[in-house]
Amino acid sequence: MKHLIDPMDLSKEELDQIITLAEDIIAHREKYQDSQRYKKLSTLFYEPSTRTRLSFTSAMMELGGNVLGFSDAKSSSVSKGETVQDTVRVVGCFADVIAMRHHIEGAQLYASEVSRVPIINAGDGSHSHPTQTLTDLLTIKRELGHIDGITIGFCGDLKFGRTVHSLIKALSRFKDIKVVLIAPDELKLPDYIKQDVCDKLGISYKEVQTMEEVMPELDVLYMTRVQQERFLDQDEFDRVKDSFVLDCAKMALAKEKMAVLHPLPRVNEILTEVDADPRAAYFRQVENGKFVRMALITKLLEWKDDPSHGMPEGEEPVYDATLRCTNAKCICNNEHAPHKFRRSDNGTLRCWYCDSKIK
Ligand code: NCD
């Protein structure tokens, strides 16, 4: 069965099928309005969300299906101590597909190991956010007409920003992508993405200090919010919170056809004066999120019983009783998930669930 936990769970063909279907949904909305009648999506949100949860809900409603779930785990049996694995076993008796957001990294991967219905990762800690990635890819395609060959600048919180991690991974499925990383030292992209994604999969990247020096090169500028809730140290947050701000003066340096994306919510990293610029694509991006989730739900339900659309054959997990994942926000330190690992090509061991480096 196909779940969407990590962007790399989708092959390039599957990714293209989802984007193509989303474009068809946009062109012929009436054709799809009853297509998932009697099907149920469950939204299990253990972490705050406006856009993503409502986007999933409206996507399923536009397909003619129903939605059940919770937006506050305190109102569910989680408050009695139920594990995510038990919760998805239970919810799988009611729903055909589950969208889950969790503050614990790897929670959805762990849940998918026992689920009898497809699980969609709607964000796990600062780790992954693959449906935002689908939204971003569809937006780039619609704004620029193509994804291959783009130069994309990621600006802001590249350390904790899960949307950035997932989009860079997915871009490795496209040709001739150039990535520019614009972040203060404290918020740089984690090494595992640089090594295991960019270096291994051939995405060229460079790190720069200012937005001004790269604005003229960019086809896409991907702005992000500094993720206050993921900082362990308030002083560190205060030092970096106003690092990079996009305004009209910086937009004046950019290409005429550049697209500005932002997963939202924004705080102060894009001034509202930029909103009127036709290159500001972030509110169009929100709507694309609904269309691409309609396509994703449709495809996962179609692929559910099709053995040719399973999870990718990955490497075998490594078990070593002497090693433990040290990430306090990983599922294996919060529930009885086993401490298991994956070995990268360069010999590094990483946690199976959260990708933290073990040794
Ligand atoms: C993002 C998220 O939740 O990671 N928002 C979203 O899903 N649209 C980005 C963020 O919270 O900054």
Least confident range of 171-180, 246-255, 345-354? 345-354
CB 78 within 8 A of CB 323: no
pLDDT of res. 113: 95
Q: Which residue reads 């992954």 in tokens? A: 128
More confident residue, 282 or 79: 282
123 lines ligand 1 (CB under 6 A): yes
**C-alpha torsion sign, points 166, 340, 11, 288:** negative
Range name among 80-89, 137-146, 210-219, 244-253 with the lowest pLDDT average: 80-89
- Does ligand 1 have an atom closer than 6 angstroms to the CB of 151? no
Task: Name residue, tokens 């308030």.
Answer: 234
Distance 242 CA to ligand 1 centre (A): 18
The residue whose CA has the least distance to atom 12 of ligand 1 is 225
Summarize the confidence of residues 35-53 as an average pLDDT.
94
Contact indicator for 256, 216 with CB cutoff of 8 Å: no
3-state helix, strand, coil in the chain (%, to 5): 40, 15, 45
**Token output for 120:** 């969609």
CA distances from 246 to 4, 158, 185, 319, 344 (A): 32, 16, 19, 46, 37
Q: How far is the CA of 238 from the centre of ligand 1 (A)?
A: 20
The answer, yes or no, to whether any atom of ligand 1 lies below 6 A from the CB of 293, is no
Question: Would you kindly state where each structural domain of the chain is located, as residue ranges?
Answer: 7-130+287-309, 131-285, 318-351
Topology match between the domains 7-130+287-309 and 131-285? yes
Centroid of ligand 1 to alpha carbon of 183 (angstroms): 18
* pLDDT cut 70: percent of the chain above it: 100
Q: Ligand 1: which atom is nearest the Cα of residue 161?
A: 4
**Among 358, 343, 184, which Cα is nearest to 269's?**
184
Instruction: Return the ligand 1 atom nearest residue 135 CA.
Output: 8
> Which residue type does 82 have?
E
According to the model, what pLDDT value does residue 73 have? 79
Instruction: Give 160-212 pLDDT, tens digit per residue.
Output: 999 999 999 999 999 999 999 999 888 999 988 998 889 988 899 999 989 99
Cβ of residue 285 lying under 6 Å from some atom of ligand 1: no
- Which pLDDT score is estimated for 359? 84
Residue 240 has pLDDT above 90, yes or no: no
Provide the pLDDT for residue 155: 96
Residue 12 pLDDT class (50, 70, 90 cuts): very high
User: Domain 7-130+287-309 adopts which CATH fold?
Assistant: Rossmann fold (3.40.50)
pLDDT at 76: 72
Cα–ligand 1 centroid distance for 264 (angstroms):
6
For residue 163 and ligand 1, the question of a CB distance below 6 A is answered with: yes
> How many whole angstroms from 265 Cα to the centroid of ligand 1?
6
Q: At the top level of CATH, which class does the domain 131-285 belong to? A: alpha beta
Q: Do residues 68 and 42 touch, judged by C-beta distance below 8 A?
A: yes
Give the mean pLDDT of the chain.
94
Q: How confident is the model over 54-112, as pLDDT tens digits?
A: 999 999 999 999 999 988 877 776 777 889 999 999 999 999 999 999 999 999 999 99
Residue 356: other Cβ atoms inside 10 A: 20
Structure confidence at residue 116 as a pLDDT band (50, 70, 90): very high
**Among 87, 112, 90, 122, residue whose Cα is nearest residue 1:** 112
d(CA 149, CA 18): 20
Residue nearest to atom 1 of ligand 1 (CA): 263
